[in-house]
Amino acid sequence: MGITEKISGAIASRSLTSVSKTTASTRYSSTKVVLVLVMVLWGGSFIASKVGLDSLYPVEMATLRFAIATPVLLLITVLFKGVKSLRVKGKDLPVLIVMAMPGVTLQYIVQFIAMTYTSFTNTALLINMGTFFVIIPSVLLLKVKFTADNTLGVIIAFAGAVLVATNGNIVLSVNLIGDGLVLICAVFWATYVLTGNKLAGKYSVLTQLNYIFIIGFLGLLPFYFLTPHHDIASLGTVSWASLLYLAIICSVIAYFFFNDAIIKIGPSQTAIYQYFEPMFAIIFAIVLLNEPFTICIGLGAILIIAGIAMADNNLKFLGYFFKSETHGPASGPR
């Protein structure tokens, strides 16, 4: 091969590599945009839950939510992927159970019990610890690299989420039972997120989600029958509207794209974006429920956006003063 051919080959190779990196980067960025939209949908779940709980019991609402979401997701999967897509190996069922019980059944049951013991402030503070419970094992066990800016960003976003959720009224009164249960909830959700990519590449997101919903729903049923609940025929339009939003929008659609993000960008990076959830919840409350907008809410929103930008390597502060050779969790497409 002559020099000309070698040069042409090298240029072509570099061009293909450049196109490949650009495509991967675009896919990576689009996943993050979708993840933000998921947080918008889950932010709306606070309003739907608030309205629904005026006429439904907590465990009743959670159970009916997945009673609707489970068959809908199953139908979608069969129509678009076929019955064969639901086949999984028996050895993989424990992983799906580990995702379903903490991510669906225990998450709701324990959180509802906890809120009867502890204050809203404590709940808002401790439930947001879930992101730390994802990041710490990711750094220690999965060897995910976090720079000083990434770490500071997570802390800033956490502070913003707490400020938004509590409107600055941070008065803590320790309740060992309630606070302990909320922390357990945070660990449950972290377990769900960390386990989310264990079967990546082996089964589709739809396949995994079907088993998570079915197992989670079956786990909720005993609690449903053991606790107060209404005659389904007596439920009003508002109750059904809340349930449909929670089941179709927040469960079928949002859970799908959230699990897809865990696989594509990793558990720690996905968890960081959850700090957007309380911000969008407050925005919905201001627009739909005429909740007042305060300086604390505005400041909290700014901290959330700035913190996530730092954690996602889109904004640097400490990096300008301290040179770092490591890259954060969002240094490039996976």
Q: Is 208 a domain residue?
A: yes
Average pLDDT, the chain: 84
- Residue 332's Cβ-count burial label (10 Å; 0-12, 13-18, 19+) is exposed
Q: Is 23 a domain residue?
A: no
- Structural domain for 131, as ranges: 37-320
Q: Is 185 a domain residue?
A: yes
Q: Is 1 a domain residue?
A: no
- Which among 25, 326, 13, 282 has a CA at the least distance from the CA of 150? 326
What percent of the chain stands above pLDDT 90?
44
- Which among 303, 272, 331 has a CA at the least distance from the CA of 151? 272
171 has pLDDT over 80: no
More confident residue, 171 or 326: 171
- Residue 66's Cβ-count burial label (10 Å; 0-12, 13-18, 19+) is buried
Q: Stretch 143-153: mean pLDDT, rounded?
A: 85
Q: Stretch 169-177: mean pLDDT, rounded?
A: 74
pLDDT of residue 320: 57
pLDDT tens per residue across span 2-48: 555 555 555 555 554 444 555 556 667 889 999 999 999 998 988 89
Distance of CA 248 to the CA centre of its chain: 16
Q: Is 243 a domain residue?
A: yes
pLDDT of residue 330: 43
Is the separation of the CB atoms in 74 and 207 below 8 Å?
A: no
| Residue 47 bridge partners (DSSP) | none
pLDDT tens per residue across span 123-137: 767 887 888 899 888
DSSP H helical segments within the chain, as ranges? 3-52, 58-81, 93-100, 106-114, 120-127, 130-140, 148-166, 176-195, 205-226, 237-244, 254-265, 267-272, 276-288, 295-311
Comparing 150-164, 229-243, 280-294, 315-329, the range with the smallest average pLDDT is 315-329
Contact residues for 322 (Cβ-Cβ < 8 A; gap 6+) = 148
Q: Is 27 a domain residue?
A: no
d(CA 129, CA 131): 5
Dihedral sign computed on CA atoms, order 164, 167, 170, 171: negative
Comparing 25-29, 104-108, 291-295, the range with the smallest average pLDDT is 25-29
- DSSP-based three-state secondary structure for 200: strand
Instruction: Give the number of domains in the chain.
Output: 1
> pTM for the complete prediction?
0.83
Q: Is 168 a domain residue?
A: yes
pLDDT tens per residue across span 194-206: 998 888 788 999 9
Q: Is 113 a domain residue?
A: yes
- Which among 250, 290, 256 has a CA at the least distance from the CA of 49? 250
b/e sequence 238-272, b meaning 16+ C-beta within 10 Å: ebeebbbbbbbbbbbbbbbbbbbbbbbbbbbbbbb
Write the single-letter amino acid at 250. Answer: C
pLDDT of residue 331: 39
Dihedral sign computed on CA atoms, order 104, 122, 193, 47: positive
